[in-house]
Structure 1
Amino acid sequence: MSPWLILAGLGAFHGLNPAMGWLFSVALGMHRKSRRIVWLSLVPIALGHAASVAAVVLAVAALGLVIDQHPLEVMAGLLLIAWAAYQLICGHRHKVRIRMQTGLAGLGLWSFLMATSHGAGLMLVPVVMPLCLAATPAHELTAAGSLPVSLAAVGVHTAAMLAVTAAIAAIVYEWLDIAFLRRGWINLDYLWTAALTAAGLILVV
């Protein structure tokens, strides 16, 4: 499968997760009785998510300039596994709490912290590293080759996340109600923890 499709798929998965934005967007719109707020809130949610992912991806790309590929992959894999363990053991105890009175800046900060706490950027590392290597003739990480690819990866991921978030927020706000979550919803946090673990094992092995 194309790495770009994987990046888009991970973005869509993030958009599907109510903890990553659409639930807050809908709740905020209902609280203020404004459809406009639902759509407007998507902007800081997407920007906060993109900033969190970009910080990790660019940091890994920078490390790749001074650390050989294999040790970097092992380090990233171990970090993914450790983060998955943290999420499983105590991730639910450290949820980011922002009140409904927050402004757009507060919502962007919430999105950044939520994406960071979920390890959203870490999950992109196994996909972005091969892309950066393939972007250079010598298949080595360079600043000129890795930076554009890293930014493009963040863009594709965020665009897919925003598209899914917007679609679900619109459907729930217009035709459903957030009460449906009480009747049944897959716990995506467990799926995400399993995905973090699997990605970490792939890098380590």
Structure 2
Amino acid sequence: MDRTPRSLIKAVGALAAGHLLAMGAILFPFTALMFVAQWQREIQITAACLVIGLGVWLVFNRRHPRFLARVPPSRLALWSFLAAMAHGAGLMLVPIYLGICQTVDTDAGHAAAQALMSANAGIAVGVALIHTLAMTLSGGLIAFGVYRWFGLKFLSRSWFNLDLVWATSLILVGAISLLVAV
């Protein structure tokens, strides 16, 4: 908002940090659930249904959470974390993450649990980092373009809402994940 390139870089970094924390807050509890290897398919189906349910809820509930408007601009990383949680950004990755971490059906229970304990936390970190990097690069490039060529007034004059697109993408990812799991 103070129209300096340095502030833009700091803002994008704060948004990335908050988004990454939201990914971790969602992915790591599901990583812990993966230790229960014999229920992996059921956990993946439940996660896909949660993603679909959140997408359907967002289609019909278009109001933004009021608490997001009360977070001061000086706490941009906190706002990014809360916005990512409210929009289900981390939840969208769970069915994909669980699909990546599938165990072999012929493994014995203890061997599967050992493999999950050693590998899945690293995969969860990788998924969260890659997603955050992609979000940061694409959002940062758009923010730089608006800052450099269009100006900040462009945002107030031409704002458009992508909530329906986001809700539809949640439903689509959940449906694909559900089909793969079933």
Q: TM-score, normalised by structure 2?
A: 0.81
1:40 aligns to 2:14 (yes or no): no
After TM superposition, list the pairs within 5 Å mapping 1:3-152 onto structure 2: 28=1, 32-66=2-36, 68-94=39-65, 96-98=68-70, 102-103=73-74, 106-133=75-102, 138=107, 140=112, 142-152=116-126
Shift of 1:144: 0.8
Aligned length: 171
Which amino acid is the alignment partner of residue 69 of structure 2?
A: R
Residue type of the alignment partner of 1:89: F
Cα distance, 1:85 vs structure 2: 2.1
* Distance (Å, rounded) in 2 between the aligned partners of 1:158 and 1:123: 13
Q: Tell me the CA shift for residue 79 of structure 1.
A: 0.8
> Greater CA radius of gyration, 1 or 2?
2
In the TM superposition, what is the alpha-carbon distance from 1:130 to its structure 2 partner? 2.2
The structural deviation recorded for 1:168 is 1.2
Q: CA deviation at 1:173?
A: 0.5
Counterpart of 1:92 in 2: which secondary structure?
A: coil
Gaps of 5+ in 1: 1-27
The verdict on how the C-alpha distance between 1:165 and 1:196 changes in structure 2, with shifts beyond 3 A counting, is same
Q: Is the 2:19–2:84 Cα contact (8 Å) retained in structure 1?
A: yes
Encode CA deviations 1:106-135: one digit per residue, 9 max, x unaligned.
Answer: 111100000011100111112211222369
RMSD: 2.6
